[in-house]
Amino acid sequence: MGLNPYIVLGSAIVGLLVGLTGAGGGALMTPMLILLFNVKPAAAISSDLVAAVVMRPVGSAVHIQRGTVNFRLVGWMCLGSVPMAFLGAYLLHVLGGSSASQQNVEIALGAALLAGTAAMVLRYWLDRRSGQQRSGAIAAIRVRPLPTVAIGIVGGLIVGMTSVGSGSLMIVLLLFTYPMLAAGQLVGTDLTQAVPLTAAAALGALAFGHVEFGLTAAVIIGSVPAVLIGSLLSSRAPDKYIRPIITFVIFASGLKYVGMGTTTLGWTLCGVLLAGGASWLWLNSRKTKAEPAPDREVEVLRQLAGRRGAES
């Protein structure tokens, strides 16, 4: 299969989202290749995994340089995720690798992501009411080994059984396990832990999968520069911009996993964007109206004091 410029363009869009959010790579890249470009599922999954070995270290390197990676979290997650990726592949082999078995796993994952999206929206609303800022220093985060290993186990098992989906779910679990992590730190830590996990899964794809190297090259050419740009933005952008993008990508991934059609998904996401934009404008207008107008007497006193200072 030769280089397809449309695959390069689509891969660039997905790569940008991966760099911005740390999530959505497998959940968006693989369905895009299958549904839009009629790539066989086995080839799409295997080629995407091999391309991710090149793509994710680029985003990880940007966050490491910016100091937004917690290596203790990365180590504990990899302790659970890497061996479980192999176990998941073995379980899929034992189950016969049937499409029905994989579809059931993906539907369960989609339901979990949609529940996680609702929880993230609720948490954002509660944080807005309380004024809590998620800006904990990366080195000051107290690591909880057992929950962190459990996050790795869940993500690794899903990668082994479906080849996609771990990034979105791990982002949600990290968010609730370490609520003081800023969005950039979440993205950087997740991208870094995904490097050894993706490498382990890609080795299996090369050994037992159906990698099309022309397809892999197109995905790499499109996604690597885009993930670099996305990572530069997510490592610098304020939390209030990155967190809604993460939520939106995870929501889209969840809808796709539960089986929503491409056309319906597109219209649904457009509606969500319009509703979100309208809500944002309404909240900002309320905030502006709620700001107290300066007291008239205080303003007059300030003007008199300024005149006296000028005369003296």
Residues 183 and 268 in one domain: no
Residues 251 and 270 in one domain: no
Residues 241 and 282 in one domain: no
User: Token pair of 265, please?
Assistant: 């998904």
- How many Cα atoms are found within 13 Å in the side-chain-facing hemisphere of 225? 8
Q: For 138, which DSSP code?
A: G
Number of other residues whose CB lies within 10 A of the CB of residue 276? 14
User: Token pair of 32, please?
Assistant: 């895009």
* Residue pLDDT, tens place only, 86-116: 787 677 666 655 566 667 666 766 777 787 6
For the chain, the distance separating the N- and C-terminal CA atoms, rounded to the nearest angstrom, is 83
Residues 158 and 266 in one domain: no
Domain-embedded: residue 14: yes
Q: Which domain does 276 fall in, by range?
A: 262-291
What b-and-e string marks burial along 69-83, b requiring 16 or more CB atoms within 10 Å of the CB? Answer: bbebbbbbbbbbbbb
Residues 236 and 271 in one domain: no
Dist. CA 28–CA 254, nearest whole Å: 10
Residues 23 and 171 in one domain: yes
> Tokens 């895009």, residue?
32
Residues 230 and 139 in one domain: yes
Residues 31 and 176 in one domain: yes
Residues 234 and 274 in one domain: no
pLDDT of residue 37 exceeding 70, the answer is: yes
72 compared with 180, residue with greater pLDDT: 72
* Residue pLDDT, tens place only, 227-271: 999 888 888 877 677 778 877 877 887 787 788 887 888 888 899
* Residue pLDDT, tens place only, 194-239: 888 888 777 776 776 677 888 889 999 999 999 999 888 888 877 6
Domain-embedded: residue 307: no
> Tokens 């790579």, residue?
25
Please count the structural domains in the chain: 2
Residues 278 and 139 in one domain: no
pLDDT value at position 137?
63
C-alpha distances in angstroms, 289 versus 15, 213, 283, 284, 286? 40, 58, 10, 9, 5
Domain-embedded: residue 17: yes
Residues 172 and 280 in one domain: no
Domain-embedded: residue 310: no
CA-based R_g, the chain, Å: 23
Residue of 46, 73, 26 whose CA lies nearest to 204: 46
